[in-house]
Amino acid sequence: MALFGFEKDTLLDLTVNVIPLGILGFFIVAFAVVPAFGTDPVFSGLQFALMITMFLLLAVLTYYAGKAVEDAEKAEQAGEEEA
Protein backbone atom coordinates (compact mmCIF):
# COMPACT_ATOMS: atom_id res chain seq x y z
CA MET A 1 0.00 0.00 0.00
CA ALA A 2 1.40 3.36 -0.99
CA LEU A 3 0.45 6.51 0.89
CA PHE A 4 1.11 9.79 -0.98
CA GLY A 5 2.93 7.67 -3.55
CA PHE A 6 5.52 6.43 -1.04
CA GLU A 7 6.27 2.86 -0.09
CA LYS A 8 6.21 1.64 3.50
CA ASP A 9 10.01 1.81 3.92
CA THR A 10 10.11 5.39 2.67
CA LEU A 11 7.32 6.40 5.03
CA LEU A 12 9.32 4.96 7.92
CA ASP A 13 12.29 7.07 6.81
CA LEU A 14 10.08 10.17 6.72
CA THR A 15 8.78 9.78 10.29
CA VAL A 16 11.77 11.89 11.31
CA ASN A 17 9.94 14.86 9.75
CA VAL A 18 6.37 13.74 10.40
CA ILE A 19 6.77 13.93 14.18
CA PRO A 20 7.78 17.64 14.15
CA LEU A 21 4.91 18.29 11.72
CA GLY A 22 2.54 16.79 14.26
CA ILE A 23 4.01 18.91 17.04
CA LEU A 24 3.71 22.09 14.97
CA GLY A 25 0.15 21.18 14.02
CA PHE A 26 -0.72 20.61 17.67
CA PHE A 27 0.60 24.03 18.69
CA ILE A 28 -1.15 25.79 15.80
CA VAL A 29 -4.47 24.29 16.91
CA ALA A 30 -3.74 24.82 20.62
CA PHE A 31 -2.89 28.51 20.20
CA ALA A 32 -5.94 29.00 17.96
CA VAL A 33 -8.24 27.49 20.61
CA VAL A 34 -6.59 28.97 23.72
CA PRO A 35 -4.71 32.22 23.02
CA ALA A 36 -2.05 31.92 25.74
CA PHE A 37 -0.45 35.28 24.95
CA GLY A 38 -3.58 37.39 24.53
CA THR A 39 -5.38 38.42 21.37
CA ASP A 40 -3.18 41.21 20.04
CA PRO A 41 -3.74 41.00 16.26
CA VAL A 42 -0.15 41.92 15.37
CA PHE A 43 1.46 39.50 17.82
CA SER A 44 -1.00 36.69 17.09
CA GLY A 45 -0.67 37.23 13.34
CA LEU A 46 3.11 37.11 13.54
CA GLN A 47 2.97 34.03 15.77
CA PHE A 48 0.66 32.14 13.40
CA ALA A 49 2.58 33.32 10.33
CA LEU A 50 5.80 31.89 11.75
CA MET A 51 4.25 28.59 12.83
CA ILE A 52 2.28 28.03 9.63
CA THR A 53 5.26 28.99 7.46
CA MET A 54 7.49 26.49 9.28
CA PHE A 55 4.77 23.83 8.99
CA LEU A 56 4.38 24.34 5.24
CA LEU A 57 8.13 24.49 4.58
CA LEU A 58 8.72 21.29 6.56
CA ALA A 59 5.84 19.57 4.73
CA VAL A 60 7.30 20.52 1.34
CA LEU A 61 10.79 19.45 2.45
CA THR A 62 9.42 16.12 3.68
CA TYR A 63 7.64 15.48 0.38
CA TYR A 64 10.72 16.19 -1.73
CA ALA A 65 12.92 14.15 0.62
CA GLY A 66 10.53 11.24 0.16
CA LYS A 67 10.66 11.65 -3.60
CA ALA A 68 14.49 11.66 -3.49
CA VAL A 69 14.53 8.49 -1.37
CA GLU A 70 12.08 6.77 -3.74
CA ASP A 71 14.17 7.75 -6.78
CA ALA A 72 17.36 6.53 -5.12
CA GLU A 73 15.75 3.20 -4.26
CA LYS A 74 14.50 2.79 -7.85
CA ALA A 75 17.97 3.61 -9.23
CA GLU A 76 19.53 1.12 -6.81
CA GLN A 77 17.10 -1.60 -7.86
CA ALA A 78 17.74 -0.85 -11.54
CA GLY A 79 21.49 -1.10 -10.94
CA GLU A 80 21.08 -4.47 -9.22
CA GLU A 81 18.99 -5.83 -12.12
CA GLU A 82 21.67 -4.86 -14.64
CA ALA A 83 24.45 -6.56 -12.68
Is the sign of the CA dihedral 52, 54, 60, 63 positive or negative?
A: negative
* Helix, strand, or coil (residue 2): coil
| Alpha carbon distance 13, 69 (integer Å) | 9
Question: Do the beta carbons of residue 62 and residue 12 sit within 8 Å?
Answer: no
Spatial neighbors of 34 by CB under 8 A, at least 6 apart, are none
| Alpha carbon distance 57, 63 (integer Å) | 10
Q: Where are the domains of the chain?
A: 8-82
State which amino acid sits at residue 7: E
Q: What is the pLDDT along the chain (83 residues), one digit of tens a residue?
A: 566 677 888 888 888 888 999 999 999 999 999 987 778 889 999 999 999 999 999 999 999 998 998 888 888 888 777 76
